Amino acid sequence: MQFNFIPNDIPLPIPTGGLEAVDVVLTVLLVVAWLVHILFINVLLGASTGSVYFNKRGARENNPVFDRVAYLLTTPVTVCENMGALWGVAPLLLVSVMFTPLFYAATIMNSPQWLHIIYGNIAAFLLSYLYKYTWHKLEHRKSLHLAIGTAAVALFLTLPLVFMATVQLYLTPTTWTGNTHFWDALFRADTFFRLVHFYLASFAVTGLFMMIYGTAKRKSDDEVTRQAGDVLVNTGKSWFLLPTLLNLFAGPLVLFQFPSYGIENFFNAGWFWLIILGVAAILGAAYLTVKDFFNPELSKGKLWSIVGLAFVTVLSMATLRHGMRLSLTSEAMAQAKTQSDEFVARSKTASDEAKTAPKAVAVATVSAGEAAAGKQGCLACHAVDQKLVGPAYKEVAKRGYTEQQIVDLIYTPKPSNWPDFAVPMPPQTQVPKAEAALIAQWISGLK
């Protein structure tokens, strides 16, 4: 299979430190770091939503128990938002090292939306802390308090959209075009079903957490807190059971939305056995939950049996997720390596020929336009007569652009004009107009 838009980036060698199995170590670190990160994020989304829900319900019914449940859920929210962000750095770094050409290109395609990860996270963090630490001060202004909590939840729920669109892009390089961007990836069926699966999993994991958290709170000396523990356990059963059963239908929809070559590689490598293991374990956990669904008491033995079976499923899903990653990207990564090796070989040949070639008597002078292009960093991505990250300037000149059109393209690039290049040129608004005119004049003269 040919991947038409894989960048020609030269891969950097990964230091092994004498450890031959470095790929295995990185793989284990990636699976474990992602698993820890995603569990914190799951509870963050579910607990923040649950807190606002019970807060509103407590205010509407004037029920102090529901209000206490909502307040208790603010603690895991603030813990999970910090731990989720902390542990999220590791899988991002590992993926960017292990799958550099694909992840780098996908991130560039989504570059404007990645800002939402930064500023959206900051705003959501601040709002969630404001929501928690003004609980008693705003108890008589519930509308304002609920508005703060709802805004935080809305922001938290939008952050996975950017991550999922980027993940789906780097996993499916066959879908890339010269003008692929965030909205293209977001409104695809494969991204949609993965988001559905993720959000359902978030509430299922939160349901498990509620059962554990509620069981602990049942031992409190405070009567209202003990009753809140009962509500947490009973709600946790529903939150775990319903999303889990729905995900038994969403999971296959996620799997079969991937490109056929990836699915074939996945099944040929035997990764599907982890699906069977995960489904069997989660059905066992669901059975135990249903068996005691209407029983207000939940023994420790039964609770930890449910949690243990669910963890087997989560671990299986985390591992087979990496299996699908390898199944989808192995061919593209092999092509990227081949392209890089060829580029290195051509560069070495050109360097050797330059060393043996007779030296020119005269030294060519650099024009003002070429000097300006070098000063502004244009030559990092463009050469005069060689294709780099962007097209050669002689190829640009052949298009017959006027100098003013070239100036306009410096400030407002049109990637659709060059569909053979995977990485779109960002606007170069930092270039002074006088230097842009010199650059345009120089490029026009290369015809």
Specify the pLDDT at position 13: 65
The predicted pLDDT at position 25 comes to 87
Give the pLDDT of residue 10: 62
Confidence of residue 217 (pLDDT cuts 50, 70, 90): very high
Mean local confidence (pLDDT), 250-255: 93
pLDDT in tens, 114-128: 888 889 999 999 999
Q: What is the pLDDT of residue 362?
A: 47
Report the pLDDT value the prediction gives residue 15, as an integer from 0 to 100.
66
The answer to whether the beta carbons of residues 276 and 248 sit under 8 Å apart is no
In this prediction, residue 410 carries a pLDDT of 87
Give residue-wise pLDDT tens across range 289-317: 998 887 777 888 899 999 999 999 999 99
Domains and CATH numbers, the chain: 22-327 (1.20.1630), 368-444 (1.10.760.10)
3-state SS of the chain is: CCCCCCCCCCCCCCCCCCCCCHHHHHHHHHHHHHHHHHHHHHHHHHHHHHHHHHHHHHHHHCCHHHHHHHHHCHHHHHHHHHHHHHHHHHHHHHHHHHCHHHHHHHHHHCHHHHHHHHHHHHHHHHHHHHHHHCCCCCCCCHHHHHHHHHHHHHHHHHHHHHHHHHHHHHHCHHHCCCCCCHHHHHCCHHHHHHHHHHHHHHHHHHHHHHHHHHHHHCCCCCHHHHHHHHHHHHHHHHHHHHHHHHHHHHHHHHHCCCCHHHHHHHHHCCCHHHHHHHHHHHHHHHHHHHHCCCCCCCCHHHHHHHHHHHHHHHHHHHHHHHHHHHHHHHHHHHHHHHHHHHHHHHHHHHHHHHHHCCCCCCCCCCCHHHHHHHHCCHHHCCCCCCCCCCCCHHHHHHCCCCHHHHHHHHHCCCHHHCCCCCCCCCCCCCCCHHHHHHHHHHHHCCC
pLDDT(363) > 80: no
Which band of pLDDT confidence, cut at 50, 70 and 90, is reported for residue 409?
confident
